[in-house]
Amino acid sequence: MSEIAAVPVAVCQFAPTASRADNRERIAELTADAAARGAKLVVFPEYSSYFVDPLDESLAANAEDLDGEFVATLAALAAEYAVVIVAGLAERAADGERVRNSVVAVRGDGILAVYRKQHLYDAFGQRESDWVEPGELGPAATFDLGGLRFGLMTCYDLRFPEVARSLVDAQTDALVVPAEWVRGPLKEHHWTTLLAARAIENTVYVIAADHPTPIGVGHSQVIDPQGVILAGVGTAPGIAVAVVEGETIARVRATNPSLRVRRYAVVPRDTVPGGAVAPGAPS
């Protein structure tokens, strides 16, 4: 990380629908707006390519490959506006029945990073695993832009602090969090609290884009390494822009060297369906 690095970023809060063409058109409009405001990184929510509530069989029918129309559109937009775009994609899975809940970071010349959601939303009465296969554990999904490193995670992963910590172990300066944070009792409180917590405990920026109400909670935000909201959107569709600064990260870490003095490491642990620890895995 360079102390003089600074990257303007935008979070674009919109409601993806069951029309893939409409979603691509809306992303194009928002990218143009964000770029006009100076953004060099433009972040969209989870399931930006296609979304229905509740999830159903149409998800697999509308899934795309990484070389499909959705990613090609992102690459064309990224080239046109000289930005990097991060967005959620319903990616085609091998079995043709479920999908991969993926996040792609795309530049004009192609894909920079791909993250496949590791913690599926089997909570609060939902069963994402009925429609989505979990991503494999592996190297952190990161990309570099403007002298800073950005790491990908998504939605329910926020409830597992080791995901963010593993990205920080890969020298990440900012966490990028596309989400579809489903509304419900205290869910807005959980969303905003966990975003701030991941920033504070890791001394990183958090860049989070959600769906607006009535399905999501909204409140897409850019948060600094001390948990301060630099820019945000309310519950309606919209864009918020802020600058991620390497100098700020360095200053916060000099004052609060918690990453340097910590005494525990993150160790991957695989699980079997239902949440039980796989045989032979540490418990």
Q: Active-site residue numbers?
A: 46, 117, 155
What phi, psi does 240 have (nearest 5°)? Answer: -130, 140
**Which residues are registered as beta bridge partners of 107?**
110
- d(C-alpha 3, C-alpha 246), whole Å: 5
Instruction: Identify the three-state secondary structure at position 19.
Output: coil
DSSP 205-265: EEEEE-PPTTTB----EEE-TTS-EEEE--SSSEEEEEEEEHHHHHHHHHH--HHHH----
Q: Are 139 and 152 in contact (CB under 8 A)?
A: no
Which residue type sits at 145? L
- d(C-alpha 26, C-alpha 45), whole Å: 12
Q: Are 224 and 193 in contact (CB under 8 A)?
A: no
Q: Are 50 and 90 in contact (CB under 8 A)?
A: yes
Task: Compute the Cα dihedral for 190, 194, 196, 201 and give only its sign.
Answer: positive
